[in-house]
């Protein structure tokens, strides 16, 4: 992997990741941009203890631009974008409209119950390919591996920033999910707090350790592999399965067989196997509502769960992949029980979802 850093016109960092050591990355950003000013803050919900990010400045961010104005495509004569070069393999840059950013002003708490802090952190955009019309599932294994290397690089660097508690790599795909830029991309958030889902996992893992003396995630993976009813696919170093209590119509968790806290701790053998398995899963999602000859781009969220920077020793790196689509023409909307009470209700049995995902293998 060849890593090249540059600066955009407003001072934000841009990083190219290449496999070609002679790639020319000397283009300058010629746009007349003003420096980014973040006014975000994080507020703790007194009733639940969860942190909520308030980022009112994001209302003006780019929303569904036409393809010929895409800010994630390479720059062309007469159309300058976030990527100054005429081509790229994988590019990562600081978001121009970040939910969290360094240097946010420190707010004052209006009441003893109200815990409020500056929204210090970092939000990055990860462009998987220069091809506007592609998707992650269209990549070959070499390019998918390069994306994995970029995620790992960003996890290591962002984890070292002052105040960062957790690094979250993810991809949202599809307008149904809420994506506002069609170009294939994901994001990396360096968060100044531990996310609520991670905190709940840590609590469960601690309880399991106290009750059994064993690790929750190691036991969970062993149980799924022993039964195999919900296993979708497995390799030498990874297993993908539909969780026993899946929240979404089609939801798959991908775990390495060896428990590690984050992407930086994977071995070379684990890294080498992951791209093929991950691409297989994404392509199966696309065949769920189409055919092998005519796959449909299923909307999904792909979320890497990593342990917090400090603490969370019982947690395990894993990927959670899910779609909001439940049939070809129906979406899973969060109803009152789910949005209002976080009590999920799934219309598809996890065992049936796993069977269907096995059936759509090529």
Domain edge (last residue) among 193, 210, 231: 193
Q: Is 180 in the same domain as 273? A: no
User: How far is residue 192 from each of residues 59, 199, 306, 308, 335, measured CA to CA in Å?
Assistant: 22, 14, 14, 10, 30
Closest CA to 51 of 102, 105, 99, 123: 99
SS (H, E, C) the chain: CEEEEEECCCCCEEEEEECCCCCCCCCCCCCCCCCCCCCCEEEECCCCCCEEEECHHHHHCCCCCCHHHCCCCECECCECCCECCCCCCEEEEECCCCCCCCCCCCCCCCCCCCCEEECCCEEEEEECCCCCCCCHHHCCHHHHHHHHHHHHHHHHHHHCCCCCCEEEEEEEECHHHCCCCCCCEEEEEEECCCCHHHHHHHHHHHHHHHHHCCCHHHHHHHHHHHHCCCEEEECCCEEEECCCCCCCCEEEEEEECCCCCCHHHCCHHHHHHHHHHHHHHHHHHHHHCCCCCCCCCCCEEEEEECCCCCCCCCCCCEEEEEECEEECCEECCCCHHHHHHCCCCCCCCHHHHHHHHHHCCC
Q: What is the pLDDT of residue 293?
A: 75
Q: What is the pLDDT of residue 25?
A: 92
Kindly tell me if the per-residue pLDDT of 286 is higher than 90. Answer: yes
Average pLDDT in the 89-104 region?
94
Q: What is the pLDDT of residue 22?
A: 76
Kindly tell me if the per-residue pLDDT of 318 is higher than 80. Answer: yes
pTM of the predicted model, to two decimals?
Answer: 0.96
Q: Is 174 in the same domain as 143? A: yes
Q: Is 91 in the same domain as 235? A: no
Q: What is the pLDDT of residue 58?
A: 85
Kindly tell me if the per-residue pLDDT of 288 is higher than 90. Answer: yes
Domain edge (last residue) among 160, 193, 226: 193
Average pLDDT in the 4-25 region?
93
Q: What is the pLDDT of residue 154?
A: 98
Alpha carbons 34 and 148: distance in angstroms, whole number:
32
Kindly tell me if the per-residue pLDDT of 55 is higher than 80. Answer: yes
Q: In this predicted model, what pLDDT tens digit does every residue of 265-274 receive, in sequence order?
A: 999 999 999 9
Q: Is 97 in the same domain as 172? A: yes
Q: Is 215 in the same domain as 318? A: yes
Q: Which residues are identified as catalytic?
A: 185
Q: In this predicted model, what pLDDT tens digit does every residue of 167-215 receive, in sequence order?
A: 999 999 999 999 999 999 999 999 999 999 999 999 999 999 999 999 9
Q: What is the pLDDT of residue 43?
A: 96
Q: Is 11 in the same domain as 117? A: yes
Q: Give the structural domain span for 309.
A: 197-359
Q: What is the pLDDT of residue 210?
A: 98
Looking at every residue in the chain, the average pLDDT score rounds to 95
Instruction: State how many domains the chain has.
Output: 2
Q: Is 129 in the same domain as 21? A: yes
Q: Is 205 in the same domain as 138? A: no
Local confidence band at 39 (pLDDT 50, 70, 90 cut-offs): confident
Q: What is the pLDDT of residue 362?
A: 79
Kindly tell me if the per-residue pLDDT of 291 is higher than 80. Answer: no
Q: At 40, which CATH number? A: 3.30.428.10
Q: Is 186 in the same domain as 209? A: no
């Amino acid at each position: 992997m060849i890593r090249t850093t540059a600066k955009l016109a407003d001072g934000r960092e841009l990083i190219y990741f290449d496999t070609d050591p002679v790639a020319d990355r000397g283009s300058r950003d010629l746009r007349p941009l003003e420096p980014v000013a973040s006014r975000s803050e994080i507020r703790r919900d007194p009733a639940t203890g969860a942190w909520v990010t308030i980022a009112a400045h994001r209302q003006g961010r780019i929303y569904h631009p036409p393809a010929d104005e895409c800010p994630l495509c390479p720059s062309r004569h007469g159309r300058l974008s976030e990527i100054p070069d005429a081509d790229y393999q994988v590019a990562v840059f600081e978001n121009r409209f970040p939910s969290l950013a360094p240097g946010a002003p420190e707010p004052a708490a209006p009441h003893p119950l109200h815990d409020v802090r500056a929204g210090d952190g970092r939000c990055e955009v990860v462009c998987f390919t220069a091809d506007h019309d592609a998707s992650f599932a269209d990549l070959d294994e070499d390019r998918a591996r390069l994306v994995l290397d970029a995620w790992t690089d960003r996890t290591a660097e962002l984890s070292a920033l002052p105040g960062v508690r957790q690094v979250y790599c993810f991809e949202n795909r599809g307008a149904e999910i809420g994506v506002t830029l069609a170009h294939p991309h994901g994001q990396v958030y360096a968060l100044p707090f531990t996310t609520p889902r991670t905190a709940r996992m840590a609590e469960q893992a601690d309880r399991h350790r106290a009750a059994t003396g064993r690790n929750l995630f190691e036991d969970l993976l062993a149980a799924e592999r022993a039964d195999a009813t919900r296993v979708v696919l497995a390799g030498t170093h990874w297993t993908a399965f539909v969780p026993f209590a899946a929240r979404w119509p089609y939801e798959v968790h991908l775990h390495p067989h060896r428990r590690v806290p984050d992407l930086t701790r994977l071995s070379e053998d684990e890294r080498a196997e992951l791209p093929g398995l991950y691409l297989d899963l994404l392509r199966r999602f696309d065949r769920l509502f189409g055919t092998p000859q005519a796959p449909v781009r299923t909307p999904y969220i792909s979320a890497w769960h990593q342990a917090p920077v400090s603490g969370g020793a019982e947690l395990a790196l894993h990927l959670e992949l899910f779609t909001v689509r439940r049939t070809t023409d129906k979406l899973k909307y969060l109803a009152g029980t789910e949005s209002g009470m976080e009590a999920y209700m799934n219309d598809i049995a996890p065992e049936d979802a796993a069977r269907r995902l096995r059936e759509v293998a090529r």
